[in-house]
Amino acid sequence: MSDIINGLGRTSAYGALGLVLLILGIVLVDVLTPGKLGRQIWEDRNRNAAVMLSSALIGIGGIVFTSIWTTYDDFGKGLAATAAFGVLGLVLMAVAFLIVDLVTPGKLGAIVVDPHPHPAVWVTASCNIAVAAIVSASIA
């Protein structure tokens, strides 16, 4: 029974950390794009904003999953590593967004909130997933 209780405690801690990192991902995308992200997605039904946010959430979820999967035997060290890799993934996704914005014409943030579908959003979303895959591969 103590194994189950211990497992529930660890799962709760990792789950809470994962939720915090996902919330940070939402905040990050909101900061990188003009306007209010929630309004863009839920009220305006903006597909560009939804694709961008979805890719960030999938990416950070993949990083957190990989970090937990390969976690240290020491619970505290594993939790700290998961937090560190998650934050690093978010930072690298933001840097990648800014680099793509720099090397492409127009303003990427404005394209993300444009009500008309734009292929640049798919490029940016793919970049998020690629960055997350690179961070995830480096964990093991």
Both tokens assigned to 13: 């801690």
On whether the pTM is more than 0.85, the answer is yes
Whether the CA torsion 139, 70, 73, 82 is positive or negative: it is positive
- Does residue 39 surpass a pLDDT of 90? yes
Both tokens assigned to 107: 């303003």
Question: At 136, is the pLDDT very low, low, confident or very high (cuts 50, 70, 90)?
Answer: very high
CA distances from 130 to 42, 102, 137 (A): 26, 18, 10
**Mean model confidence pLDDT for the chain:** 92
Report the alpha-carbon distance of residue 105 to residue 121 in Å, rounded. 13
Q: What is the pLDDT of residues 44-79, one digit of tens each?
A: 999 999 999 999 999 999 999 999 998 878 899 999
Question: At 40, is the pLDDT very low, low, confident or very high (cuts 50, 70, 90)?
Answer: very high
